[in-house]
Structure 1
Amino acid sequence: MVKIKMGFSCSSKLALQNFVVGILCIIAFSLPVCAQQRSSSITIKPVIGAHALIDQGHLLHDRLYGVDLAFQKNLEDNIPEWARIARAKSYGLELVVRNFDNFKGVGDTITNSLGSAFGLLAQIEISVLKLGKAEIVFTPAAGASYSNKTFFTHPDNRFIGSHINEMLKADLGLQIPLSQNFKLLTGIGYVHLSNGGYLVPNGGLNTVNAYIGAKITPGQKVKESGEKPNKSSGLKIRPFQTLQRNSFEFMAGFGQRGVFEQKRAKYRSAFFAGYNFYMNDLVTIKTGVDAIYYYTVFDPSDVSETFQNYGTSFDRWRTGLSLSSDFNFWRVTINTQIGKYIHYNRFFKNATWYWG
């Protein structure tokens, strides 16, 4: 089987993919997934944390505050195959609020310049380990966020270049049931904020946090030991399945990277040709050739207009070999990739690998 894809590629492939994932999940979650009614939960997690920018000083010193609010749908009844393999317990939408104004940076240069971020993310809750009635869970999430302060509104802010950014989040926590409908939550988390170079400067923010919260499942019914599982209404929805174990894929995209300290960009096209191997309903392994075509190359006499950080190239083409994996959550796919450049006449000679 041969697949051909067209798309839009940003300078940070991961940034664009996770932004799209968040939008797709919002749409997907609004559709009926199966005929059986599932219980719903609400989680509330106040957080306190710090930034994790080792090269910026003040590592874990500057405080951040925020809150996470999530609405989750239970997956433990009529569980689809991908969820069974992933040990997924639930999926949902999460509102993430973070206040970064206490971050000081090097020499206290960015105090009150970073503002706050408000994110809407799609999340999946995965069971890691059961400890009696308690349980350790891992909750990755991805989506889009809005930042109220950027470099263009507060020039001391060298980390956030645009109001709209991608937001990646991961929590590892302990859930302790205190009653049928109430669980105590505690754990640690990580949040990444960036626009992938759409507008620069864009250093991005990496933060860590701890939380204590609650998970409420109103009206949850406990099945008696002899009670039979609920029957569906008779409506059968055929699960999405890959048709073949092997396939070839061709993809083309178009994207941009911002000009330094300007609200305009330089453009490029991206191409991929590769082989896909479907391991199961959850994981696909991919390998292939990546190529980028630059419409503007680096000109040493015009650095401010043509410098593109680690993407700065003296030639119009750069190519590489990559190995990647797709994680297929129903009709939503998250991709991770690592690659080695074959040809890249680059400004930074140590930029020999790429990932996303």
Structure 2
Amino acid sequence: MMWKFTLFVLLLFYGRCLPAQDTTDLWKKARLNPNLGRHKFIELKLHGGTHLYTGDELKNALNDGYKSLELRMGWQSTGEKEWQRVFNYPSYGIGFYTGDIGNPTILGNPSGVYGFFYAPFHRRKRNHFEAGLSLGITYDLNPYDSTTNPLNDAIGSKLDAYVNFGITGVLKVSNSFDFLYGIDLTHFSNGRTHTPNLGLNMAGLNIGVRYHYNTIRGIVKQQIDPTYEAARRPTFITTQVPPLQRYHEISLYGAFGVVQASSDEKLEAFYGTASLILGYDYRFSHKSSVGIGLDGFYDGSLGWTYQKRYGEVRPSDKMLMGTHLAYVLNIKRFQVRAEVGTYVWKRDNEKGDYFMRLAIRYNIAKYGFLQLGLKTVNGAASDWIEWGGGGKVRW
């Protein structure tokens, strides 16, 4: 219906080529659609909490916790698409934040931009909850410098990745406003592209307000029908989601990355990394897949490490092999992949006993994909960022 209304407006303003009776009839039909227009919202949030810091040098700088302000603009889905009904009418959009994360002389005054996705659950008449994921970049950090900023053992670059997970309660106050309350976890990291890179993890509470509006409200009242009130909130389409045809999928994924040696070595050299993964996934529901895979890794920085430790380096010393288990959340063309694995071959315990991968995959047509991921060491410590893509076969 939205494209029909858009066509109607274009004809009305630029052509004036339809008879008056036709335009009147078309408008009468268009306004019967309860989801005419585009339902959006503006959201303002205040955050506060504490640092989950595992280092030593920044303890005093982080004593007062963190505070931040976020401004978000979102689009509310109606259930018109099948995947929107699967995820209980999600919303998505873009956001900006600025914060005080501690001593600004040491840590800087970070701000950031990101995209976000809310998946609602436990819907009630006036209150529901949303699981939220935000991914973007944060900038204006004050990175480690051995001379001017030696205490910052958490951040090695001015530009870092921004990741936020949260659970938000949404209380409907009026047709236009919601009151928001929730908990969240925020992570800053550059994926060891610069060192040191302990990263910053912040856990806390947030409150806010959300304002709903419809983008056609003003133009319709001014130019077409002054009596028309566009709905600020959508009427959800409740057509039943058809059963999923389950399937199997094999993929081959290749990626590269760049890392810096430990800042303790006083080196500024950068080293290449590579990943090659053969994976198998089984799609068992509209939302979820599970999988297994074989992983091959190359880390050029191990050459420096092993040369210093053993006095000699073989080409195979920079390589590792592993295997992983995966859970995959499928959102239209996107996948959020969470994988945990262990090594089956390595020279020593430099890379720990297990690794994790958090990745975003975008499926291109039927046989290809692009993927951006973060590989870790023994849990949350960043190893490197994987930039890559691959192909897949489904049956």
TM-score above 0.5, yes or no: yes
How far apart, CA to CA, are the structure 2 residues paired with 1:46 and 1:297? 46
The aligned counterpart of 1:221 is 231
Does 2:185 match 1:190? yes
Conservation of the 8 A alpha-carbon contact between 2:79 and 2:236: no
Change (3 A) 1:299 1:63: closer
How far apart, CA to CA, are the structure 2 residues paired with 1:207 and 1:50? 6
For 2:127, give the aligned amino acid: A
For 1:93, give the aligned amino acid: I
Shift in Å, 1:279: 2.4
- The answer for unaligned runs of 5 or more in structure 2 is 1-34, 215-229, 238-243, 358-395
The aligned counterpart of 1:43 is 43
Does 2:251 match 1:258? no
Conservation of the 8 A alpha-carbon contact between 2:212 and 2:232: no
Does 2:174 match 1:179? yes
How far apart, CA to CA, are the structure 2 residues paired with 1:41 and 1:140? 17
Candidates 275, 284, 288, aligned match of 2:289: 284
Candidates 156, 166, 173, aligned match of 2:161: 166
The aligned counterpart of 1:22 is none
Does 2:268 match 1:268? no
Calculate the aligned-residue CA RMSD, in Å. 3.1
1:254-291, Cα deviation, whole Å (9 max, x unpaired):
22221223443121221111212222443232211001
Correspondences of 1:1-356 after superposition (within 5 Å): 37-53=37-53, 56=56, 61-78=63-80, 80-102=81-103, 112-152=105-145, 154-219=149-214, 221=231, 245-261=247-263, 262-295=267-300, 296-299=302-305, 302=308, 315-348=317-350, 351-356=352-357
- Structure 2 counterpart SS, 1:113: helix
How far apart, CA to CA, are the structure 1 residues paired with 2:284 and 2:54? 38
Change (3 A) 1:348 1:294: closer
Which range moves more in the overlay, 279-288 or 194-203? 279-288
For 1:170, give the aligned amino acid: F
How far apart, CA to CA, are the structure 1 residues paired with 2:233 and 2:133? 29
- Structure 1 counterpart SS, 2:280: strand
Which structure is richer in relative contact order (CA contacts within 8 A, separation 6 or more)?
1
Conservation of the 8 A alpha-carbon contact between 1:52 and 1:60: no
For 1:336, give the aligned amino acid: A
Shift in Å, 1:59: 12
Shift in Å, 1:118: 1.8
Change (3 A) 1:205 1:337: same
Conservation of the 8 A alpha-carbon contact between 1:247 and 1:275: yes
1:292-349, Cα deviation, whole Å (9 max, x unpaired):
124452545537xx9xxxxxx9813211111113323222322111001101223448
- Structure having the higher Rg: 2
